[in-house]
Amino acid sequence: MKLSVIIPVFNEEKTILELLKKVKKADIQKIEKEIIIIDDGSTDKTRDILRKIKSNKTKDKNIKIIFQDKNYGKGFAIRTGIKHSTGEIIIIQDADLEYNPDEYYKLIKPILEKKAEVVYGSRILNKNNKISSLGFYLGGKFLTFLTNLLYNTKITDEPTCYKIFKKNILKSIDLKCKRFEFCPEITAKIAKNKIKILEVPISYNPRHKNQGKKIKVRDGIIAIWTLFKYRFVE
């Protein structure tokens, strides 16, 4: 059994090395781990850092680093990572240290025990978590409410980064996303296929705009449109 960790990266020179260290150290017991980093056209020092890792002759052979020729968007980077993944289980990991890789095992455990095929890490279910800002919090709550309304789901955290899938489930879905609409698109298509989403409480260490948070108001509007589009149009 192997876990594929897909890490889309854009301008994360301050966090990428620490994040990679945490992902490599994450204990998933006897499960093999491959790490797939997709640099989405970074313009800071991120690409130089990743090139150095890739050229290191003693580098971990389970790390794959892919360089996009320009900035296509997070969704496109995730789709690239899915194509290169070989694990039976796939998890999405942001590079900004908001989410804790030490929680991988409890997230994949329901899949290992055949209790679920899709698992979401819910920040809402952990009452000890802080929020990044009231706007982001309310936006996430609204997207979750809208998802449950449109798709008859019962989830608490639709826009969570930690989404875990059995490979055959994820690779069977024709994704079109390019930017941050990966979350609503995959959730919509999972729900339309009548696949239950099991949620597990996770910790969350939010960062703010001045620390590099990239989601903007327009991304929220696109997420809303995406949920409606896959419910009524496609």
Whole-structure pTM value: 0.93
* pLDDT at residue 216 is higher than 90: no
Domain count for the chain: 1
Among 163, 185, 82, 173, CA closest to 116: 163
Residue 11 region, left (φ>0) first, then alpha (ψ -120 to 50), else beta?
A: left
- Whether the per-residue pLDDT at 119 is higher than 80: the answer is yes
38 strand-pairing partners: 8, 66
Q: How far apart are CA 161 and CA 180, in angstroms?
A: 10
Helix (H) or strand (E) holding 217: helix 217-228
pLDDT of residue 217: 84
Do 7 and 38 contact (CB within 8 A), yes or no?
yes
Q: Are strands 118-122 and 89-92 parallel, antiparallel or unpaired?
A: unpaired
Asked if 179 and 222 count as a contact pair (C-beta separation under 8 A), the reply is yes
Rounded Cα distance, 43 and 105, in Å: 33
Q: What pLDDT does residue 56 have?
A: 81
- CATH code of residue 113: 3.90.550.10
pLDDT per residue as tens digits for the range 70-81 = 999 999 999 999
Query: What's the token pair of residue 19?
Result: 């994040």
> Whats the size of the chain, residue-wise?
234
DSSP symbol at 196: P
Return the number of other C-beta atoms located less than 10 Å from residue 57's C-beta. 4
Residue 22's contacts (CB-CB under 8 Å, 6 or more residues apart) are 97, 100, 101, 102
Q: Which two tokens stand for residue 13?
A: 């020179």
Domain carrying residue 68? 2-233
Query: Do strands 163-166 and 89-92 pair parallel, antiparallel, or not at all (unpaired)?
Result: antiparallel
pLDDT tens profile 8-32: 999 999 999 999 999 999 999 999 9
pLDDT in tens, 125-173: 999 998 878 888 999 999 999 999 999 999 999 999 999 999 999 999 9
Q: In what order do the strands lie in the sheet with 197-201?
A: 63-67, 32-39, 2-9, 89-92, 163-166, 118-122, 197-201
